[in-house]
Amino acid sequence: MNHQTVIVLDFGGQYNQLIARRVRENNVYAEVMPYNTPLDVIMSKNPKGIIFTGGPNSVYDATTPKADPKIYECGVPILGLCYGMQLIAHQLGGEVESASVPEFGATMTDMFDSVLSKNVVSKTMCWMSHNDYVSKAPAGFSVIASTEATKIAGFANDARKIYALQFHPEVNHTPQGRQMLHNFLFDVCGCDGDWKMSSFAIDSVNALKAKIGDKKVLCAMSGGVDSSVAALMLHKAVGTQLTCVFVDHGCLRKNEGDEVRAAFEKFGLNLISVDAGEHFLSKLQGITEPEQKRKIIGEEFIRVFEKEAKKLGTVDFLAQGTIYPDVIESGQGDAAVIKSHHNVGGLPDVVDFKEIIEPLRDLFKDEVRAVGEELGLPHDLVWRQPFPGPGLAIRVIGDITPEKIDILQNADYIFREEVAIAGIAEDINQYFAVLTNTKSVGVMGDERTYDWTIALRAVTTDDFMTADWAKIPYDVLGRASNRIVNECAHVGRVVYDITTKPPATIEWE
Ligand code: XMP
């Protein structure tokens, strides 16, 4: 699979993944690499271009991340963004100073004539977020953008193919940013746009066929998009040599197990479905601490999976639905652990197999979905909202009982049904019900009640790292609330969560 590559060199900016996604939206393959990747490793990718991301540092700090100065001499086009621009200025003899007032937010910007401003209006809003600014461009560079506060908001040297922008063209708040990136990719780097999901799917299936030959593959299937697409891709490649194991841990959404089984039966996939609900719930009995719930589910999942796998004898390959953001994030070891997201990452230690296959490790979520559509996976499954590995166990706050799971499954089902009826499912990225551990007083007929409170949570987000609460129409919320208190036993109150992430997280536990 040979395709042109652009390297996104990560200096610690919060938008590194977004930059790579924007590049790929232009059908150009982008790979994120840490800023200190040796130059020969970068060059071994034969990059068509290199983009320096933003970052939280100031170029004058002694420990601040720097690029290998030889990178400017290797003839590969470079685009520096925000900190990336300041770094280029600093390393090539320009000057960077600290501003008395930071420039932050949507800012009217003059775009002067340059290759980056092709098809861009001359005055346009750009998203600024910086304390330092370039006070003098390096010799030989011309100024290509300017704002009232920042005279040098972009500079360029066409002969050296080095460009820089102080603002963030990758974010939606810079409406013409996509065009600017397009100009860099196609008019400066000379990319052809050869990264297409249709050819990726065909090439990957062929590569898997060649790699696996007549050997056996085992895949843990969660019913989520990633493991489903990975499984289907492998099924296309090696048919019945693939065995998928689906562990129903008893904390799935209503009807979920049946839906997953039905979807894959159609493809003739070799699927072993293990109903381990009682076992998991007995292990979770009395556990209230969220991280402990995750740990128990993660461990038990491995045990059950291992037991099934052993029945198959030696397996040559273990397949995982790892996707690119997992790869990038696991490369950044010093980020604080907010929640230990359970996935199948723990399996390799305990299952007897020879090699791991990760057919999706180069893809972002939207690309995984595009491949899923290419392979003919049902639309509902492809566009399924994310569902955490521990499932409803972390949506029943506090201790878990089968009765509570049952209440939550019903409430959650009603909420999802009302969202679907209203036709707003694809406008919301994740939505679900939570069974809080709060009871409250109510009145039903002439009786006083003292029942559970259900919280509804719905968010819009690009990346699940930050999220806004979804502005669901009141009548949809009203209908869901009415039905939940009427149709779900022991629920006396429904509330809607209107907290953004941060400071809250999407899940309640
Ligand atoms: P938070 O709650 O951290 O969630 O804002 C961000 C995204 O991650 C999902 N999530 C999990 N996924 N195992 C998973 O596989 C977990 O333990 C877990 N906890 C949260 C969450 O649903 C959201 O999509």
SS (H, E, C) 309-376: HHHCCCEEEEECCCCHHHHHHHCCCCCCCCCCCCCHHHHHHCCCEEEEECCCCCCCHHHHHHHHHHCC
Smallest CA separation from ligand 1 atom 17, residue:
341
Backbone angles phi, psi at 223, to 5 degrees: 90, -10
365 closest CA partner among 267, 464, 259, 432: 464
CA distance 163 to 134: 13
Q: What is the mean pLDDT of each run of 10 residues along the chain (509 residues)?
A: 92 90 96 96 97 93 93 98 98 95 94 98 96 97 97 98 97 95 98 94 95 94 91 96 95 93 90 96 97 93 86 88 83 45 48 84 93 92 91 97 98 98 96 98 92 98 89 98 97 98 95
CATH (residue range 197-382): 3.40.50.620
Helix, strand or coil for residue 480? helix
DSSP state for residue 481 in the 8-state scheme: H
Ligand 1 centre to CA of 433 (Å) is 14
Cα–Cα distances in angstroms (integers) from residue 301 to residues 228, 296, 319, 389, in the given order: 18, 8, 16, 10
Smallest CA separation from ligand 1 atom 16, residue:
341
Does the Cβ of 295 fall within 6 Å of ligand 1? Answer: no
Output the six-digit token pair for 131. Answer: 């304390």
294 closest CA partner among 338, 243, 240, 357: 338
To 5 degrees, how large is the angle CA 407–CA 410–CA 413?
Answer: 145
Q: Is 82 a catalytic residue?
A: yes
Q: Is 170 a catalytic residue?
A: yes
Catalytic residue among 168, 182, 249, 342: 168
Smallest CA separation from ligand 1 atom 3, residue:
505
| Sign, CA torsion 332/334/339/345 | positive
Residues of the chain with CATH 3.30.300.10: 401-497
Integer-rounded Cα radius of gyration of the chain: 26
CATH (residue range 5-188): 3.40.50.880
Residues of the chain with CATH 3.40.50.880: 5-188
pLDDT at residue 62 in the model:
85
pLDDT at residue 337 in the model:
44
For residue 502, cis peptide bond before it (omega within 30 degrees of 0): yes
Burial of residue 51 (CB within 10 Å: 0-12, 13-18, 19+) is buried
DSSP per-residue letters across 199-250? HHHHHHHHHHHHHHTT--EEEEE-SSHHHHHHHHHHHHHHGGGEEEEEEE-S
Backbone angles phi, psi at 147, to 5 degrees: -120, 175
**Paired strand residues for 451:** 440
Mutate to test the pocket of ligand 1, among 249, 465, 506 (most ligand atoms within 8 A of CB): 506
CB distance 250 to 277 below 8 Å: yes
Residues of the chain with CATH 3.40.50.620: 197-382
Ligand 1 closest atom vs CA 505:
5
Ligand 1 centre to CA of 341 (Å) is 6
Helix, strand or coil for residue 192? coil
Q: Is 342 a catalytic residue?
A: no
CATH (residue range 401-497): 3.30.300.10
CA distance 45 to 31: 10
Does the Cβ of 342 fall within 6 Å of ligand 1? Answer: yes
Catalytic residue among 31, 82, 126, 374: 82
CA distance 200 to 175: 29
Ligand 1 centre to CA of 127 (Å) is 29
Ligand 1 centre to CA of 226 (Å) is 14
Ligand 1 centre to CA of 488 (Å) is 26
Burial of residue 266 (CB within 10 Å: 0-12, 13-18, 19+) is exposed
pLDDT at residue 343 in the model:
45
Does the Cβ of 389 fall within 6 Å of ligand 1? Answer: yes
Cα–Cα distances in angstroms (integers) from residue 446 to residues 102, 161, 371, 453, in the given order: 61, 78, 56, 20
Does the Cβ of 506 fall within 6 Å of ligand 1? Answer: yes
